[in-house]
Structure 1
Amino acid sequence: MDAKLFDAAKAAMARAYAPYSKFSVGAAILAEDGRIYAGCNVENASFPEGWCAETSALGAMVTAGATRIREIAVIGASALTTPCGGCRQRLAEFGAADTPVHICGPEGHRKTFRLGELLPAAFDKDHLG
């Protein structure tokens, strides 16, 4: 995993808005265009209306015109802060089964999964006929 990807995810985590859960998460996507797009979780008093870090990073990526994920780093303070189920599906829309998903903690890289490991048998555009 590239150090710039980790640094971007860590910087995003530091900007998380998590006054309710106190659980800050950051994510950084390396897109096929070679640029890094970061996001953090943004909570809302009306649960579950907040945004996950991965969703924020995807929004930044798509807004900039990129549509394919090369790899992603997700950082949180717990043992393995993996993307939630909804974010796994969102990542699958823009990634592939072999897209690396690097799980990090404040100290650095902890484990890498492939997106297909996190979301086997993903629902995709081929299911829509």
Structure 2
Amino acid sequence: MENTLVMKEDRINGENTLWNKLSNEAWDVRQRAFLQSGGSTHVGASLVTDRGNIYSGCNIQHMYRSHDIHAEVNAISNMVSGGDNKIERILIVAVRAFFTPCGSCMDWIMQFSDDDTIVGFQNEPGGDVQEFTTKELMPHYPK
């Protein structure tokens, strides 16, 4: 049986204020990403919880790359520090053609979500959001 990811596109516009809010937060925090020399990808992430709270984070590179903090993990850490523990939707932004969270970041997202949590990606401010459920990205993830 072949698994395929079903991509849905959701245009950021005035009609979708939640995506707008997450997009604005993620692109804003992305500007504060900390890269070591040689690093080139600034990443921002913003999420909304089941209680409606929004948390954001950017990537932080360390001189010893094994200590890097990814934007998704930074946003999730801020969520937990803020007293929440369930992601309803997360948006990751970077100026890249197409990307998804790495396996480690997906583990973190899965720990604080369910199969229907929406993971979105945007590669330019105001651009299309590529949307997946966590189940589409990690169909065999143990729960």
Fold shared by both chains (TM-score > 0.5): yes
Determine the structure 1 residue equivalent to 2:31. Answer: 14
Deviations 1:13-65 (A, max 9, x none): 11111233211100001011111100000000101211000000000000000
Q: 1:1-129 counterparts in 2 under 5 A? A: 2=18, 3-19=20-36, 20-107=38-125, 108-124=127-143
Q: Cα RMSD over matched residues?
A: 1.2
**Identity of matched residues, %:** 30
RCO higher in structure (CA 8 A, sep ≥6): 2
Structure 2: which 5+ runs fail to align? 1-15
Supply the distance in 2 between the matched residues of 1:80 and 1:110 (Cα, whole angstroms).
Answer: 11
Supply the distance in 1 between the matched residues of 2:31 and 2:124 (Cα, whole angstroms).
Answer: 10
Where 1:38 maps in the other structure, the secondary structure is: strand
Kindly name which structure, 1 or 2, has the bigger radius of gyration based on alpha carbons: 2
Aligned length: 124
Structure 1: which 5+ runs fail to align? 125-129
Q: Cα distance, 1:81 vs. partner?
A: 2.6
Q: Cα distance, 1:122 vs. partner?
A: 1.3
Where 2:68 maps in the other structure, the secondary structure is: coil
What's the TM-score once normalised by structure 2's chain length?
Answer: 0.82
Deviations 1:63-113 (A, max 9, x none): 000000010000011112311110001100001111111111123233101
What's the TM-score once normalised by structure 1's chain length?
Answer: 0.90
Supply the distance in 1 between the matched residues of 2:128 and 2:49 (Cα, whole angstroms).
Answer: 19
Q: Which amino acid aligns with 1:59?
A: S
Q: Report if aligned partners of 1:82, 1:103 keep a CA contact under 8 Å in 2.
A: yes
Moved over 3 A (4+): none
